[in-house]
Homo-oligomer: A and B are copies of this chain.
Amino acid sequence: MAAKESSRTMKAARSAGRIGVVASVAMNLAWLAMYIRQRYGEITTVEASRGKPPVTQDSVVILDHGDPVMYEEFWRREGDSASILIPAWQTMSYFSNLGGICCFLEPGLEREVRRLHRLVGNAVVDGYHVIVGTGSTQLFQAVLYAISPASDGTPIDVVSPAPYYSCYPVAASFLNSGLYRWGGDANTFAGDDTSCVEVVCSPNNPDGGIRHAVVKSKSSKAIYDFAYYWPQYTPITEAAAHDVMLFTFSKCSGHAGTRLGWALVKDTEVAKKMTKFMELTTIGVSKDSQLRAAKILGAICNGYEQLPSAGQTRSHLFHFARDKMAARWTRLRAAVAASDIFTLPDELSEYCGFFKKTITANPAFAWLRCKKDGIEDLESFLRENKIVTRGGTKFGVDGRVVRVSMVDTDQAFNVFLDRLSTMK
């Protein structure tokens, strides 16, 4: 662009004296450079950390968290349309919207959250409150606080069918709360009349299965963890409409470092009590993260809803991520099929309302089982091969299975696959 415009400038000025034009252009460019340096130069001097160190053929590959750094490639291509400039004087107040139920929720973020769900079709938003949290981790604890009965000395049991996300037992028990406690595997939870909180994670972390509530008790309450109910991971089969639904920015766009999640909540009293939890634990949620998330969710929607500018291609996050995940899963399934010792859950496929066709599911984690005799602790076995994963016992099942992140960098995934292929 700069070269083209400069060339035009040269032509327009051709009739003028050569020295004058050259001086004019040079000085304008010098001024421009100075202007941009003064106006924007200082702004980029805080360099962000690079996260985990780069993976080499010999290094340890860390795949025990679902660290979604795979998405960096997309956002680098995307350029500045989703970058954000935060002036020094902005976002100073604790408050964002004193009139709202969630007084620290930035209205711009709420708008983009509702817009995104309407685009994707994965959840009903009309009639729901949006509550923002420091990741869905904080929101999960906020729901427990909000829906636990008033303390009568007996904490309510929090259950989930095994294999369940390893953070649920820890989050429900680490403070030894009198309001709630971890109750274990929902499949074995007894009692038709016992009240409990059931966490339904669908697609399920760690195994990618589609889940529905299993507890039959009439006084049980369900929390739906929809961290992975996005079209890059699973077919979108319906707009979910449960009482409490949790979403996280990190697994939607890949921005885990921003620590942002949201809940869609039907009941006003539950929404208020969740907001209270966020006030008591962190006096709200980073406004910088909220503004950034709003910008990025907006860019995702724009990519699908707006015509691209001249010279730009359409920017389709869910297509990018789905293609990437599908290619990785194809390679992983081939490697596992070629091995004698590993298995994976069966491939699921269904009609996806977002992609308007039948697609396979590509879970964010591989739930990898080892059938070789003598390997009772697969996590340790893989760690000897410098692959760090999370073992089955943390998810309430046996140690012959592990959870492996499928959303890390290409390098990490490739090295993981290379090493897996050599194991007999």
Known: A106-B48, A108-B47, A280-B171. A67 touches B85 (CB 8 A): no
Identity of the chain B residue whose Cβ is nearest the Cβ of A294 in the assembled complex: B46
Known: A83-B86, A108-B47. A95 touches B67 (CB 8 A): yes
Instruction: Judge whether B176 and A151 touch: CB under 8 Å.
Output: yes
Query: Cβ of A354 < 8 Å from any Cβ of B?
Result: no
Across-interface contacts of A255 in B (CB, < 8 A) = 91-92
Across-interface contacts of A145 in B (CB, < 8 A) = 174-175
Query: Cβ of A76 < 8 Å from any Cβ of B?
Result: yes
Across-interface contacts of A141 in B (CB, < 8 A) = 281
Q: How many angstroms between the C-alpha atoms of A254 and B89 in the bound complex?
A: 9
Instruction: Judge whether A19 and B16 touch: CB under 8 Å.
Output: yes
Known: A94-B256, A138-B281, A288-B292. A12 touches B23 (CB 8 A): yes
Identity of the chain B residue whose Cβ is nearest the Cβ of A70 in the assembled complex: B92
- Closest CB of chain B to A249's CB: distance in Å? 11
Query: Cβ of A88 < 8 Å from any Cβ of B?
Result: yes
Across-interface contacts of A2 in B (CB, < 8 A) = 31, 35
Query: Cβ of A27 < 8 Å from any Cβ of B?
Result: yes
Pick from B9, B92, B98, B287: contact of A28, CB below 8 A: B9
Query: Cβ of A219 < 8 Å from any Cβ of B?
Result: no
Across-interface contacts of A291 in B (CB, < 8 A) = 46, 48
- Closest CB of chain B to A113's CB: distance in Å? 13
In chain A between 71 and 111, which residues have their CB closer than 8 angstroms to a CB of chain B? 71-72, 75-76, 78-98, 106-108
Pick from B8, B35, B95: contact of A52, CB below 8 A: B95
Across-interface contacts of A53 in B (CB, < 8 A) = 98
- Closest CB of chain B to A411's CB: distance in Å? 14
Query: Cβ of A259 < 8 Å from any Cβ of B?
Result: yes
Stretch at the interface among A36-44, A157-165, A355-363: A36-44
Instruction: Judge whether B5 and A16 touch: CB under 8 Å.
Output: no
Query: Cβ of A122 < 8 Å from any Cβ of B?
Result: no
Q: How many angstroms between the C-alpha atoms of A357 and B277 in the bound complex?
A: 44
* Count of chain A residues near B, Cβ 8 A: 115
Q: How many angstroms between the C-alpha atoms of A350 and B210 in the bound complex?
A: 66
In chain A between 223 and 260, which residues have their CB closer than 8 angstroms to a CB of chain B? 250, 254-260
Identity of the chain B residue whose Cβ is nearest the Cβ of A179 in the assembled complex: B176
Query: Cβ of A121 < 8 Å from any Cβ of B?
Result: no
Chain A, 2-45, contact with B by CB distance < 8 Å: what is the 0/1 string?
A: 10011011001111110111011101110110111011101111
Identity of the chain B residue whose Cβ is nearest the Cβ of A137 in the assembled complex: B283
Known: A31-B2, A258-B286, A281-B137. A51 touches B95 (CB 8 A): yes
- Closest CB of chain B to A50's CB: distance in Å? 8
Query: Cβ of A183 < 8 Å from any Cβ of B?
Result: no
Query: Cβ of A282 < 8 Å from any Cβ of B?
Result: yes
Instruction: Point out which of A1, A5, A87, A291 has the most chain B C-beta atoms below 10 A from its C-beta.
Output: A87
- Closest CB of chain B to A75's CB: distance in Å? 4
Instruction: Judge whether B52 and A75 touch: CB under 8 Å.
Output: no
Query: Cβ of A308 < 8 Å from any Cβ of B?
Result: no
Query: Cβ of A118 < 8 Å from any Cβ of B?
Result: no
A→B interface (CB under 8 Å)? 1-2, 5-6, 8-9, 12-17, 19-21, 23-25, 27-29, 31-32, 34-36, 38-40, 42-53, 62, 65, 67-69, 71-72, 75-76, 78-98, 106-108, 134-135, 137-138, 141, 145, 151, 167, 170-171, 174-179, 250, 254-260, 280-289, 291-292, 294-296, 298-299
Please, could you name 23 A-B residue pairs with CB atoms under 8 Å apart, sorted by A? A14-B20, A20-B20, A38-B80, A43-B80, A46-B84, A46-B294, A47-B108, A48-B86, A49-B107, A51-B94, A51-B96, A72-B89, A88-B295, A93-B256, A151-B176, A175-B178, A176-B179, A177-B178, A178-B178, A257-B288, A258-B287, A288-B289, A289-B289
Given contacts A81-B88, A88-B295, A177-B177, 5 further A-B contacts (CB under 8 A): A16-B16, A21-B24, A78-B88, A91-B258, A257-B288
